[in-house]
Chain A
Amino acid sequence: MSHHSLQKALVVALHDGEFVARMHSEPDQALADFDLSLDERRQLLAIDRRALSIDRMRSRRVLKAISAELPASLTIALAHTRRFATAEGFFASARFRRAIIDETSLVFALADYLSDRASELGHELLDGVVAIERARARCRRPEPGRSGLRLADGVALIETTAGTLAALHAAESALFEASLVAHMALCDDSPSLSFDHLIDETAVFLVVAARAGDVILEPVDEPLYAVLSAVEQASQRGPIAPSAMAGLLADIGLRVPDPDQLTRELCASGYLRD
């Protein structure tokens, strides 16, 4: 019970009309996650409901901001359902509420929400594209550095499929075309989007890297991916010394003439740091 909890409940109420309705019809259930005192609950329920909807564009502005990092994912989701309610439903979702309560990023909450939709729809391409865009978002937000040999700041690894990559590029192209004349979306004869024909299970190994203000996707061969992945997994268990490369290579069945030289080259290339 604190002013912070009450503030969070207000934030959710400002974005989710369904929550407002539920907090009046089923207050115990709707407000269960917010740790409010009886007086705080009374204050929340005393708010004139009309005041909560004065800013009609509030959720839309948030969606515009956060979907900028998940553009292809949202495109594929909406192309499949053909309902904008799929996007707006984010604000009524448990993912949104949890992000507010836990003070975590809405970009990743939207990614989780779209992954949930992908699971419901059995849409593997959507799930794969969400994973790539989520990794890009993570690369834009480097976390405080760990010590020892590890992936470089702003670098992530994704194992995906050729079909997923094709769907990502197709969605990005469709968005670019739509941005040229946005009015096209209003027309019944505007090109329809379909991604089902892009199914291709060929494995693709990607390094996702923040470079010069952008986040690039760099396909790499499987052995390099395996080396980088081994370093990532080992470093997550604890700091590892650069000299540990020989052991990591042995663990994945790879041999190189000079493991130390390999470490230096991978650091110089921006994949790793120590």
Chain B
Amino acid sequence: MDIAALPELGIGISAEYGSAQSGIDALELRQNLPGAIDFLEYGCDLARGFDSHVRAWSEAGLPATYHFLDLNLTERDDADDDWIAHTRQLADQLGAAWLCGDGGLWHFGPRDRGHETLLPPVLTADSADEMAEAIARLEDATGMACLPENPPAAIYLGDMHIADYFARVASRTGGGLLLDCAHLAIYQRVKGHDPLTALDGFPMDRVVEIHVAGGSEREHQGLPWIDDDHSPEPLPDTWQIFEHVTQRAHNLKAVVYECERNRIEDVADNFQRIRTIWSSRPRS
């Protein structure tokens, strides 16, 4: 998949089914804070489909991307013909520029009630290779780019650094990546690394999309952990990673500020900060 040919979308906001009812409506944000966002990233699973919010955005002909919430990229055959056909149909309705989603486990076992989860892949070479095969199959079947995203977790298994894992995936697919800076910050904390550990060997030219999101530091029985709760303020580690990667990702097309659960007034300043960093990036 030729990532250089993908459109440049700019700054986006995330949404999921029903998120606009209690959080931010992207059309209202666009109206009340002109220039804040350029596109919408919709987190979707086939069980729920679209809500009225994303339908309104789509009917306005505005740019969007499709973020799946029900596909296990760690399983070569999880994207069956039925899933592919229905997802492609929704992505087409949305006018999505590409598909993306956390590369790991969105359901354990069958795609059935009670089986929903989000777990990272086991960070091994054979898992990375299987993910690459799944992505290649999906891209062939849909004709759309599929950007795998590094997931958040309190537990990571496997002997590879997560950056090396997704680097291997990208080298096998020849395609792009979605680097979630908040999720990477979580991983580095879990492993006791500095925020930028292992990024020196990371294929920055494969980064098509970046996520920035707030997280909260919590403690469970004395164990510190970070809640990926999409609160307004990203951790300093997240900002550090974002600024570092933005300066080096010459094929970067989009940045999503995952803040859909908050009030516009609580995130306005960060949209400006993100746009300033985005605008200062070197152009290839």
| A→B interface (CB under 8 Å) | 2-4, 6-8, 10-11, 39-40, 43-44, 47-48, 50-54, 62-63, 65-66, 68-69, 99-100, 103-107, 141
Q: Given A2-B126, A3-B127, A7-B105, A54 and B154 touching (CB < 8 A)?
A: yes
The answer to whether A106 and B223 have CB atoms under 8 Å apart is no
B159: chain A residues within 8 A (beta carbon)? 39
Instruction: Verify if B74 is at the interface (C-beta below 8 Å from A).
Output: yes
The answer to whether B114 and A65 have CB atoms under 8 Å apart is yes
B 92-121 binary contact with A (CB < 8 Å = 1; else 0): 000000000000010011101111110101
CA A43 to CA B220, docked complex, whole Å: 21
Instruction: Verify if B173 is at the interface (C-beta below 8 Å from A).
Output: no
B 123-143 binary contact with A (CB < 8 Å = 1; else 0): 010110010000000000000
The answer to whether A54 and B225 have CB atoms under 8 Å apart is yes
Q: How far is the CB of B133 from chain A (nearest CB, A)?
A: 13
The answer to whether A107 and B113 have CB atoms under 8 Å apart is yes
The answer to whether A104 and B109 have CB atoms under 8 Å apart is yes
Among B122, B155, B158, which residue has its beta carbon within 8 angstroms of that of A51? B155
B85: chain A residues within 8 A (beta carbon)? none
Closest to B225 in A: A54
A43: chain B residues within 8 A (beta carbon)? 157-158
B108: chain A residues within 8 A (beta carbon)? 7-8, 11, 100, 103
The answer to whether B121 and A3 have CB atoms under 8 Å apart is yes
A100: chain B residues within 8 A (beta carbon)? 108-109
CA A50 to CA B222, docked complex, whole Å: 8
Q: How far is the CB of A3 from chain B (nearest CB, A)?
A: 4
The answer to whether B155 and A3 have CB atoms under 8 Å apart is no
Q: Given A11-B117, A68-B113, A47 and B105 touching (CB < 8 A)?
A: no
Instruction: Verify if B221 is at the interface (C-beta below 8 Å from A).
Output: yes
Main secondary structure of the interface of A (DSSP, over half): helix
Among B105, B158, B220, which residue has its beta carbon within 8 angstroms of that of A50? B220
B157: chain A residues within 8 A (beta carbon)? 6-7, 10, 40, 43-44, 47
Closest to B153 in A: A51
Per the CB 8 Å criterion, the residue count for chain B at the interface is 29
Q: Pick the most buried of B74, B110, B112, B117: most chain A CB atoms within 10 A of its CB.
A: B112
The answer to whether B122 and A62 have CB atoms under 8 Å apart is no
Q: How far is the CB of A8 from chain B (nearest CB, A)?
A: 7
The answer to whether B126 and A3 have CB atoms under 8 Å apart is yes
A104: chain B residues within 8 A (beta carbon)? 109-110
Among A8, A48, A63, A66, which residue has its beta carbon within 8 angstroms of that of B223? A48
Closest to A64 in B: B114
B222: chain A residues within 8 A (beta carbon)? 50
| B→A interface (CB under 8 Å) | 74-75, 105, 108-110, 112-117, 119, 121-122, 124, 126-127, 130, 154-155, 157-159, 220-223, 225
Q: List 26 A-B contacts (CB under 8 A).
A: A3-B124, A3-B126, A3-B127, A3-B130, A3-B158, A6-B157, A7-B122, A8-B108, A10-B119, A11-B119, A39-B159, A48-B223, A51-B154, A51-B220, A51-B225, A52-B155, A66-B114, A69-B113, A103-B108, A103-B109, A104-B109, A104-B110, A105-B110, A105-B112, A106-B114, A141-B112
Query: When A and B form their complex, what is the total count of cross-chain residue pairs whose Cβ atoms lie within 8 Å?
Result: 80
CA A7 to CA B131, docked complex, whole Å: 14
The answer to whether B158 and A7 have CB atoms under 8 Å apart is no
Q: How far is the CB of A204 from chain B (nearest CB, A)?
A: 28
Q: How far is the CB of A79 from chain B (nearest CB, A)?
A: 22
Closest to B109 in A: A103
CA A228 to CA B129, docked complex, whole Å: 49
A3: chain B residues within 8 A (beta carbon)? 74, 121-122, 124, 126-127, 130, 158
The answer to whether B122 and A6 have CB atoms under 8 Å apart is yes
CA A246 to CA B115, docked complex, whole Å: 45
CA A40 to CA B157, docked complex, whole Å: 9
B116: chain A residues within 8 A (beta carbon)? 65
The answer to whether A99 and B126 have CB atoms under 8 Å apart is no
A51: chain B residues within 8 A (beta carbon)? 154-155, 220, 223, 225
Q: Given A8-B108, A10-B157, A103-B110, A54 and B119 touching (CB < 8 A)?
A: no
Q: Given A2-B126, A50-B222, A51-B223, A105 and B109 touching (CB < 8 A)?
A: yes
CA A65 to CA B221, docked complex, whole Å: 28
CA A53 to CA B155, docked complex, whole Å: 11
A-B contact sample (16 more), CB < 8 A, given A3-B158, A8-B108, A103-B109: A3-B121, A3-B130, A4-B75, A7-B108, A7-B119, A43-B157, A47-B157, A50-B223, A51-B220, A54-B225, A63-B114, A66-B113, A66-B114, A106-B112, A106-B113, A106-B114
B155: chain A residues within 8 A (beta carbon)? 10, 47, 51-52
B220: chain A residues within 8 A (beta carbon)? 50-51, 53-54
